[in-house]
Amino acid sequence: MPVPTEPRNIAALPRDHTGKPVPWFAAWLDGVPDFRVVGPGKTADAVRLGLCWVCGGPAGSYKAFVAGPRCGSNRNSAEPPAHRDCAVYSAQACPFLAVPHMRRRENNLPEGARDPAGIAIKRNPGITLVWITKSYRVERTPDGPLFAFGDPVEVLWYAHGRPATRAEVEESIRTGMPLLRVEAERDGPGAVAELEEMAADFTPLLPAA
């Protein structure tokens, strides 16, 4: 897997014991960063102050969401946006995002850690989407905020730390669709029809064949 060059804002972040940059959102527990856990108040601060989710700097006009194909189809994420460069670096360098079939560690999570808002499908989709837009809105849910993407200015796809092929993206969508359909079927025929409509609307945003 290629090693991406760190953007300036990423290079300025603190490091963990292996030398990896620690994203701004990560919680520090007893002086040790836990990349799986969002630090207290970070989501609220990112929204209120307009900060990049990855480096913590002012986000600017363009908002880049790092997500899987499902979030792209639904046009929402449980995580606030980042700078374009920070989002692309994350898609290329984060082991869970960049390495298909990498599993997220669930053991020894700190007390009080919980799933983000939305329906959590706990699988690695093998593909990372970077959705770049100039707008988004915050939707409040009982489990926390969801961030609804505005229309895309640019859509980028990654796998193995490099641009993903259309075949790779289509395979990820194909293998993930049954999980989404199960959830939709629980909500009735209307939800199934909505899922199919979103999938059709999403197809033009896939990489060129």
Q: Is residue 3 part of a domain?
A: no
What's the domain range around 22?
A: 8-100+115-204
Q: Is residue 1 part of a domain?
A: no
**pLDDT of 118:** 47
> pLDDT of 72-126, one tens digit each?
888 999 999 999 999 999 999 987 675 555 444 555 545 554 555 444 555 577 8
Task: Quote the tokens at residue 173.
Answer: 């969508």
Distance CA 42, CA 124 (A): 24
Q: Could you tell me which residue, 119 or 1, shows the higher pLDDT? A: 1
Q: How confident is the model at residue 174 (pLDDT cuts 50, 70, 90)?
A: confident
Q: Is residue 108 part of a domain?
A: no
Strands of 24-183, DSSP E: 26-29, 32-38, 63-67, 76-77, 128-133, 136-141, 144-149, 152-159, 162-163
Q: Is residue 43 part of a domain?
A: yes
**pLDDT of 83:** 97
pTM across the whole model: 0.83
DSSP three-state, residue 21: strand
Q: Is residue 84 part of a domain?
A: yes
**pLDDT of 103:** 47
Distance CA 55, CA 13 (A): 7
The number of domains in the chain is 1
Q: Is residue 106 part of a domain?
A: no
Distance CA 174, CA 63 (A): 28
Q: Is residue 197 part of a domain?
A: yes
CA atoms within 13 A on the CB side of 116: 17
**pLDDT of 78:** 93
